Structure 1
Amino acid sequence: MEIAETLKERGVDVAIPIFEETVEWAGAINSVLLDNPRLLGQAMLLRDKSLMKRRAQLGGIRVGIFEEAHERDDVIRFLKRVNQTLMKLDGDPNDPIHIKAFDKAGCLGHRIIRTPDEIDTIPDEEFPVLMESHLDGWEFAVEAWIHEGRIAFLNISEYVTLGYSVFVPATPELEKFRPEITRQVEKLIKTFDIDFGFVHPEYFVTSDGEMYFGEVAYRPPGFKVFELLERAYGFNAYHGLVMAFDPKTTKEEIEEFFPREVVDATGHAGCFGVYPRRRVVSHLSMPEETEDHDYFESHELASPLTDKVTKRTAYGNHWGLLYFFGDDPYTLRDLLKRQEELDFYI
């Protein structure tokens, strides 16, 4: 309250969350700046993966099976129940379940569990967690700028491998779902009562075209997607973020600022997160086939500070990103996939 009052006295109109951990702070401050107490509750919903799924269900949005777990026994029961629901027979391999932290960004704290033995690897300090059934389908992300309750610009980010690589705009195969994706995001905006700002939801689309909601964030995405959008379209996504949050922005200013989706892109931009494939490394060594490819633009890799590579926990943190840009989305997709087989640290 004190921070909000101080900001108000200094002429601040709105607080904009940049990182996952600042979403509640921005909601609390905006509830004062904009004289709307509901904004704090909205921010809390958008921070808690369990609460957001329950709210999504109430809004008629399709989600998978999920529960909260407070201890390992809860996870064991959920794994058994999910596979019992799927009518698995003795000897059939289990369908996996997903374990996620309630309030961490992206893949942090995300684990895939297939057997009861794997449950023992979850540290005590990670509980409580959200448990979800596995959804077979094409997972992708959306970035949507919102002004006066309407979508101002909607991007579809195509994952090549979750936790490794992404590119924008998506391939025509994914873009063909844009009308349904737009309807789903509009339903999300209505369900969460979002009037302004930015949302970053993730969805699954199944082979028969059904759309499932995964989760949503109320802040910029990871993996430098805003930078990829600027490379592909030429507009500053952070500038757009400020405009979407600013209560003084007019409809005309929004329409003038944002490009047309897909058709105004000059190419496809993607990035790949590098994880060392060896347990012991001595130096950075960029593969020639990567550096010599026409689509390769730059990297942010640094020499290793230690020779021992820490064992990756869940999806872990990458050591740096590679950036690519080109005309053909399929060439880019295959190129990003190929990077998984190369050593950048030897």
Structure 2
Amino acid sequence: MTDKNPDKGFVALLGWSLNAIEAVDRFDRRYVVVAPPWAEDYCRQNDIPFVPWDFDRLNERSHELALTLEDMGVDVAIPIFEETVEWAGAVNAVLLKNPRLLGQAMLFRDKSLMKRRAQLGGIRVGVFEEAHDRGDVIRFLKRVNQTLLKLDGDPNDPIHFKAFDKSGTAGHRVIRTPEDVDNIPDEEFPALLESHLDGWEFAVEAWIKNGKIEFLNISEYVTLGYSVFVPATPELEAHRERITEEIEKLIEVFDIDFGFIHPEYFLTSDNKLYFGEVAYRPPGFNALELIERAYGFNGYQGLVLAFDPKTTQEELDAFFPKEVVDAKGHAGCFGVYPRRRVVSRLQVPEETANHPYFEFHELSDPREQKVAKRSAFGTHWGLAYFFGDNAHDLRDLLKRQEELDYYV
């Protein structure tokens, strides 16, 4: 454990992430991990400061957690996962004597409320509506396509069905036909419905202190749910100034003073930027690890600086590099999902293994031979990582992986 500075903040990490814990353990801030009871033995064996907590329990007990952390001298709570964002808001409302933080966290957790808040603030969003049953989905699909002047027999423009409070592509379905609607399980309602936006989809990772952006990364999606890389291609980075203005608008509309946000946007063919959604926690697909590979700084340590009320501007200036120009190269990853219905072993494709941009993978041999049918966007079986000098070559390489079999 690195020596800790008693003059700096004491932070609580809400959620279990070994990458986050190892990063903060190497940093100069005191910390405690708040995670489910099953992590207790591991923490004891590895001298990790630990408070057991069941995040599945009702939120009424958040005050109890806040008082426990306050008694320990904790200054701020940092959400590591989507499911702990609301808890962090409730705890920080007590620790930082700012009741508004709970309401803000609830906005970040509800995609429908989030879009309404963005719209009220003058941020451009697509058409959206809440769905409480399959009938609502059918009506929305029909209305959207009538508005687009579709004739009988024309293929429908798709709509998107998203869980209110899940992260990334979890609970995200693309709906084109009434048959697609029949496949939605009852337990996925209520949900958010959105019109489809054609365009360039990308994400942003922004570390914020005192309402100001300290570092802004643009992550370019090759295929949503499959692949992403950082920094983006020069063609997308050319829009950085406009994107930064949109993030500043988001900070103002959502009244964000500190922390980290991960919004998603569409850049349409007529050059308009549409807001998709925003999360107040680290992104999936190990984006912080990709940023570290490209830039050299640890994103979880950056999170601590952005949340800690005792962080100085001098620390921030020394910690964060200059966007794009300080990147050592482009880092990307591909989420592997078996393309065959029956598989027996892992076999990294020869052309991938021999490519100079391929670095390593986190895949293991299949536990079952039969591959479950992919529901919605499904869950990948692990990630393969790539790094290289040329953004276009990396983009094409990540796209190529979709046609290759990692499991045979």
Please give the TM-score of this superposition, normalised by the length of structure 2.
Answer: 0.84
Partner of 1:289: 351
Deviations 1:131-188 (A, max 9, x none): 0000111110000000000000000000011100000000001001100100000000
**Partners of 1:249 and 1:86 in 2: CA distance:** 51
Establish whether residue 99 from structure 1 lines up as the match of residue 147 from structure 2.
no
Partner of 1:256: 318
The AA in structure 1 aligned to 2:327 is A
Establish whether residue 34 from structure 1 lines up as the match of residue 96 from structure 2.
yes
The AA in structure 2 aligned to 1:23 is V
The AA in structure 1 aligned to 2:268 is T
The AA in structure 2 aligned to 1:292 is N
Unpaired segments ≥5 residues, structure 2: 1-62
The AA in structure 1 aligned to 2:373 is K
Partner of 1:184: 246
**Partners of 1:158 and 1:2 in 2: CA distance:** 41
**Partners of 1:287 and 1:91 in 2: CA distance:** 41
Establish whether residue 277 from structure 1 lines up as the match of residue 339 from structure 2.
yes
SS of equivalent residue, structure 1 residue 309 = coil
**Partners of 2:146 and 2:212 in 1: CA distance:** 42
Deviations 1:205-260 (A, max 9, x none): 01121000000000000001100010000000100011001111111111111000
Alignment of structure 1 residues 292-311 onto 2, 5 Å:
292-311=354-373
The AA in structure 2 aligned to 1:59 is G
**Partners of 2:154 and 2:78 in 1: CA distance:** 49
Q: Alpha-carbon deviation of 1:93?
A: 1.6
**Partners of 2:345 and 2:82 in 1: CA distance:** 33
Partner of 1:265: 327
**Partners of 2:259 and 2:219 in 1: CA distance:** 18
**Partners of 2:350 and 2:198 in 1: CA distance:** 36
Please give the TM-score of this superposition, normalised by the length of structure 1.
Answer: 0.99
Unpaired segments ≥5 residues, structure 1: none
Alignment of structure 1 residues 8-157 onto 2, 5 Å:
8-157=70-219
The AA in structure 2 aligned to 1:265 is A
Partner of 1:230: 292
Deviations 1:46-91 (A, max 9, x none): 0100000000001000000000000000011111111111122222
Runs of 4+, deviation exceeding 6 Å: none
**Partners of 1:230 and 1:112 in 2: CA distance:** 32
**Partners of 1:116 and 1:314 in 2: CA distance:** 15
Q: Alpha-carbon deviation of 1:5?
A: 1.1
Partner of 1:315: 377
**Partners of 2:165 and 2:365 in 1: CA distance:** 32
The AA in structure 1 aligned to 2:308 is D
The AA in structure 2 aligned to 1:76 is I
Q: Alpha-carbon deviation of 1:2?
A: 1.4
SS of equivalent residue, structure 2 residue 77 = coil
Percent of pairs with identical residues: 77
**Partners of 1:299 and 1:2 in 2: CA distance:** 41
Deviations 1:312-336 (A, max 9, x none): 1001111110000000011101110
SS of equivalent residue, structure 2 residue 338 = coil
* Residue of 276, 279, 284 corresponding to 1:214: 276
Cα RMSD for the two superposed structures? 0.6
